Amino acid sequence: MASITDPQRTPTPVPADTPAARTPATAPESGTLPPIDAVLSAARVVAIPTRTRFRGIEVREAVVFDAPRGPSEFSPFPEYDDAEAASWLAAALDFGWGEAPPPLRDTIAVNATVPAVAAEEVAGILARFPGCTTAKVKVAERGQSLADDIARVRAVREAMGEDALIRIDANGGWTVDEAAHALRTLSEFDLDYAEQPCVTVPELVELRHRLTTGRRADDGQAEGRRAEGERAEEPGFLADAAFPASAGRSPLVRIAADESVRKAEDPLAVARAGAADLLVVKAQPLGGVGRALRIVEEAGLPVVVSSALDTSAGISMGLRLAAALPEHLLAGACGLGTVALLQGDVAADPLVPVDGRLRVRRPALDPELLDRYAASPEREAWWRERIARCRAVLDSRGSRL
Ligand SMILES: O=C(O)CCC(=O)C1=CC=C[C@@H](O)[C@@H]1C(=O)O
Ligand SMILES: [Mg+2]
């Protein structure tokens, strides 16, 4: 990323519930990144247990900033390298010290997010998302089977009723063959879309082709399975060589790209390749609200704004992105209700769904909660060093607010 400058941005009033009247006394000169000392002195590191294991995580660590423009967050997953994590820092600095684009709406509908839990646990998870009429269900979890996925999706359909929209997210866990088979099987649940069913853009292209025509692009033999995939041993996964032709030209189920946007060198490649019907966009990995907006506008595909399992500080960044999107590009409920999956939060009035929606706001950080969830001194030091290294990466890229 050469720059996170957005000359189009106009100053926006800080929403009422921010620690507001805080003048941007420490705000940097327009465009310049805030000094590292100011960034570190605004930082608090928290470690918040999840209610249920989610993408292998049982404790969510995050840095939250008590920044001049309001709370902000830096929470790349620990395994990400500095080059990738630097974009998350750009986003945090942009939201905490820069100007956010003006919101076009006051509330955002959100989906319930259902981790890869046993079917019996589904109702308990959904109860944390009151009023949500869309659910996103994790599937293709390592060590589980398609039968587990079907049982989980069925439990969601039974709990939410026929009118609910159900999406699935495979996090790239399937080969093309596995995905084609799984999506045909899951089509009885009338899915809204399937998020990142396979890892690569060519795989997504092939899958979309197959879901549209019922045939393989090369009309050849079944491809090999993902070598390390435990699910690969499941009988019947290759029984799809003659995938039944779908009627007409629309795919059996829409394909959404997530990792192919947020982890790609070129976040627009997936749209250019015609590999997805819609995009899932996240403000932190894409370098901030302004940059994500530009990517969405260039891609020209409908989007769902989603969380990175952030605290309310990071969720407010995602909300601001969702609130700034042109209406025709917003593809339904956003994946921003995930504070409900955490055991606690950094705000006394957290951004959890009410009547299936979140109000667009930046809740203040609560000092008592920051103390309660403070990370250990070792983890605190690790995150502070990470911030300094990522900040150096941004300097080397010539990044600006
Ligand atoms: O989109 C949602 O409903 C919630 C957010 C979500 O699913 C994710 C958050 C954080 C990490 C990701 O593995 C995961 C995703 O893949 O979309
Ligand atoms: Mg996803």
pLDDT digits (tens, 9 = 90+) for 246-275: 334 567 999 999 999 999 999 999 999 999
**How confident is the model over 69-97, as a mean pLDDT?**
98
Instruction: Report CA 340 to chain centroid distance, whole Å.
Output: 15
Cα 213 to averaged position of ligand 2 atoms, centre (Å): 25
Number of C-alpha atoms within 13 angstroms, CB side, residue 276?
31
Alpha-carbon gap, residue 153 to 137, rounded angstroms: 7
In this predicted structure, what is the pLDDT of residue 282? 98
- Residues belonging to the binding site for Mg(2+) are 169, 195, 258
Distance CA 231, CA 142 (A): 7
CA–centroid distance for 23 within its chain: 31
* Pocket lining for ligand 1, CB < 6 angstroms: 55, 111, 113, 136, 169, 171, 258, 306-309, 335, 338
Q: What pLDDT is attached to residue 244? A: 35
Q: Which helix (H) or strand (E) holds 376?
A: none
Tokens of 193: 């879309």
Share of the chain above pLDDT 90, in %: 81
pLDDT over 70 at 65, yes or no: yes
- What pLDDT does 214 receive? 79
What are the structural domains, with CATH classification, of the chain?
A: 36-99+367-396 (3.30.390.10), 107-359 (3.20.20.120)
- The answer to whether residues 8 and 324 touch, using CB atoms and an 8 Å cutoff, is no
| Atom of ligand 1 minimally distant from the CA of 111 | 3
Tell whether the model's pLDDT for residue 209 goes beyond 90: yes
How many angstroms does the Cα of residue 14 sit away from the middle of ligand 1? 27
Q: Checking DSSP bridges between strand 57-67 and strand 278-281, what pairing results, if any?
A: unpaired
Q: How far is the CA of 195 from the centre of ligand 2 (A)?
A: 6
Nearest ligand by distance to the CA of 338: 1
Taking the C-alpha atoms of residue 375 and residue 383, their distance in angstroms, rounded to an integer, is 10
Q: How far is the CA of 260 from the centre of ligand 2 (A)?
A: 10
- Please tell me the distance between residue 169's alpha carbon and the centre of ligand 1 in angstroms: 8
Cα–Cα distance measured from residue 227 to residue 43, given in angstroms and rounded to the nearest whole number: 42
Binding-site residues: 169, 195, 258
Question: Residue with the nearest Cα to atom 10 of ligand 1?
Answer: 308
Q: What is the pLDDT of residue 28?
A: 57
Residue 382's contacts (CB-CB under 8 Å, 6 or more residues apart) are: none
Q: Which pLDDT value is given to residue 216? A: 76
d(CA 396, CA 329): 33
> Does 168 have pLDDT greater than 50?
yes
User: 10-30, pLDDT tens digit by residue?
Assistant: 334 434 344 333 333 455 566
**The predicted structure's pLDDT at residue 218:** 61
Which atom of ligand 1 lies nearest, measured to the CA of 77?
A: 11
Q: What is the mean pLDDT of residues 343-363?
A: 98
Name the residues annotated as catalytic.
138, 282
E-strand spans in 98-221? Answer: 107-109, 112-114, 134-138, 165-169, 193-195
Q: Is the pLDDT of residue 3 over 50?
A: no
Q: What is the mean pLDDT of residues 106-133?
A: 98
Phi, psi of 162, deg, nearest 5: -65, -30
Q: Write down the pLDDT at residue 235.
A: 30
Backbone angles phi, psi at 124, to 5 degrees: -65, -40
Backbone torsion region of residue 309, taken as left when φ is above 0, otherwise alpha when ψ lies between -120 and 50, otherwise beta? left
pLDDT of residue 220: 43
Q: What is the pLDDT of residues 319-332, one digit of tens each?
A: 999 999 999 999 99
C-alpha 55 chain-centroid distance: 12
Which ligand 1 atom sits nearest the alpha carbon of residue 136?
Answer: 3
Q: What is the pLDDT of residue 379?
A: 98
Which tens digit of pLDDT belongs to each residue from 199-208?
A: 999 999 999 9
Ligand nearest to the CA of 307: 1
**Which residue type occupies 398?**
G
* pLDDT band with cut points at 50, 70 and 90 for residue 369: very high
Mean pLDDT of 45-74: 97
**Which residue's alpha carbon is nearest to atom 8 within ligand 1?**
308
Ligand 1 probe mutation, 55, 134, 174, most atoms within 8 A of CB = 55
**Running DSSP on this structure, what letter comes out for residue 239?**
T
Q: 34 pLDDT exceeds 50?
A: yes
Nearest to 169 by CA among 104, 246, 111, 93: 111
For residue 173, what pLDDT band results from cuts at 50, 70 and 90?
very high
Residue 42, both tokens: 């605004």
Index of the ligand 1 atom closest to the CA of residue 259: 16
- In whole angstroms, how far apart are CA 301 and each of 160, 270, 328? 28, 11, 9
Distance of CA 69 to the CA centre of its chain: 23
* pLDDT tens figures, 138-147: 999 999 999 9
Ligand closest in space to the Cα of 256: 2
Of the two residues 244 and 355, the one the predictor is more confident about is: 355
